[in-house]
């Protein structure tokens, strides 16, 4: 069955007055699901987003033998005493979700083995897994390539602490080895770690559960392993800062006034700084962002993506749509992934003046009147950018490959329709 989104655009008019709530973070939730295999008792997660990536992570947990009890946006996961399938992640599911690799550390650390296929996800550039294999090797594990996947086994005495330096900051790598190290013998030192809020949230919860972790919020983590983890508390999933940022961009594009609630503006300081430079009118509280229609035209800007606390690479495609409506020349420099401007051709097809200067630089000249087109979403964040572009355009836009958008945004069509936007999901 093919799903499409049919969007009747506003032709650039400001049509939104209202508020919208931010859901739980996809990036926080996937690691929390994987971490459940570290706990001797059940782990309860709250504020879980109802998105495809989480459905797949929970299905992987069930197939490994975990008991999963879900109610609304909460779930309790109880890891098995013994893994099913000999610790092998389901290939069909794991190949479609990059976050599946987060299971490898907890499974290896607690059960002594794991088999997994080369992980999948969006096609936005190389995401090598060599550093995972090297890191596990440093901790005493042996890795064997098996067909299109890998089998990893811990030594008889269990994993041992190690010093691991990440060549490039990696959120998934930092999370994986932080979880793994809690069960290893001795001390593990991780250097050049990612410092995203999701990493810190996971670390703080593990500490509450009995783990010994020092250096949270810094690029160097020191973990003393061997602790038995007990989930005395519930794991509250952070508000999704990428969804919050995307909704804020929607507000700048189309709102007379839009309040984004249940969010963390302090996690979006880089984006809000770009807004200020553009001339966006906004106010914030500890948990909300209010966007108001600007009296003056928005100004073009030059921006560069960067690891947190810099401008998130996951926001650059939605931001590009906004920059098509700003006066003058803008430029986006992408520093994280080398193939993330695939959406530029679609924006040009809609009437935007965009020029790919090289693999990492995109020039945008605005403002441009966008027109509706039929677009095929290439990945999660570009798909959301197409949705924003269609809502801004004149005429009708049809978006295909909606499953990419559903991976990270819960019922986005219904939530935006509730704001008065003309958007319809069609199954056929």
Q: Interhelix angle for 26-35 vs 52-63, to 10°?
A: 10
304 — phi, psi (to 5°)? -140, 130
H or E segment to which residue 409 belongs: none
Whether 122 is a known active-site residue: answer yes
Residue 229 · residue 39 · CB < 8 Å: yes
CA distance 248 to 102: 30
Instruction: Report how far Cα 39 is from the mean position of its chain's Cα atoms.
Output: 24
H or E segment to which residue 234 belongs: none
CA torsion angle 289 72 206 80 (round to 10): -160
Query: How many of the other CB atoms lie within 10 Å of CB of 173?
Result: 24
Give the E-state strand segments of 242-325 in sequence order. 255-261, 281-284, 288-292, 302-304
At a CB cut-off of 8 Å and minimum separation 6, what does 130 contact?
A: none
CA distance 61 to 252: 39
Choosing from 122, 255, 270, 291, the catalytic residue is: 122
Which active-site residues does the annotation give? 122
């Amino acid at each position: 069955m093919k799903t499409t989104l049919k969007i009747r655009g506003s032709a650039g008019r400001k049509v939104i007055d209202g508020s919208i709530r931010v859901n739980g973070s996809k990036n926080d939730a996937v690691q929390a699901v994987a971490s459940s295999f570290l706990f001797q008792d059940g782990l309860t997660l709250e504020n879980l987003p109802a998105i495809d990536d989480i459905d797949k992570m929970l299905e992987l947990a069930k197939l490994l033998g975990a008991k999963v009890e879900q109610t609304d946006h909460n779930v309790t996961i109880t890891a098995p005493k013994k893994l099913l399938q000999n610790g092998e992640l389901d290939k069909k599911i794991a190949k479609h979700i990059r976050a599946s690799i987060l299971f490898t550390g907890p499974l290896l650390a607690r059960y002594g083995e794991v088999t997994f296929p080369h992980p999948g996800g969006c096609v936005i550039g190389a995401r090598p897994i060599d550093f995972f294999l090297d890191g596990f090797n440093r901790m005493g594990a042996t890795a064997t390539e098996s067909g299109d996947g890998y089998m990893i086994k811990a030594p008889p005495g269990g994993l041992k602490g190690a010093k691991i330096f990440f060549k490039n900051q990696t959120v998934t790598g930092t999370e994986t080895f932080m979880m793994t190290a809690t069960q290893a013998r001795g001390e593990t030192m991780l250097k050049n770690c990612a410092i995203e809020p999701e990493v810190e949230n996971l670390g703080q919860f593990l500490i509450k559960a009995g783990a010994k972790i020092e250096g949270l919020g810094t690029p160097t983590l020191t973990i003393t392993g061997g602790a038995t983890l007990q989930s005395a508390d519930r794991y509250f999933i952070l508000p999704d800062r990428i969804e919050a940022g995307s909704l804020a961009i929607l507000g700048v594009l189309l709102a007379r006034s839009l309040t984004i609630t249940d969010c963390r503006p302090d996690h979006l300081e880089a984006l809000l700084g770009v807004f200020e430079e553009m001339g966006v009118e906004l106010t914030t509280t500890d948990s909300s962002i209010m966007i108001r229609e600007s009296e003056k035209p928005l100004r073009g800007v030059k921006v560069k993506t960067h690891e947190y606390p810099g401008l998130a690479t996951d926001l650059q495609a939605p931001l590009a749509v906004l920059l098509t409506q700003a006066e003058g020349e803008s430029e986006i420099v992408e520093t994280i992934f080398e193939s993330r401007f695939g959406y530029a051709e679609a924006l040009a097809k809609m009437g935007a003046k965009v020029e790919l200067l090289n693999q990492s630089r995109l020039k945008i000249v605005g403002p441009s009147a966008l027109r509706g087109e039929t677009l095929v979403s290439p990945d999660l964040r570009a798909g959301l950018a197409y949705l924003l572009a269609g809502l801004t355009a004149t005429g009708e836009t049809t978006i295909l490959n909606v499953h990419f958008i559903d991976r990270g945004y819960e019922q986005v069509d219904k939530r935006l329709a509730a704001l008065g936007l003309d958007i319809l999901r069609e199954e056929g």
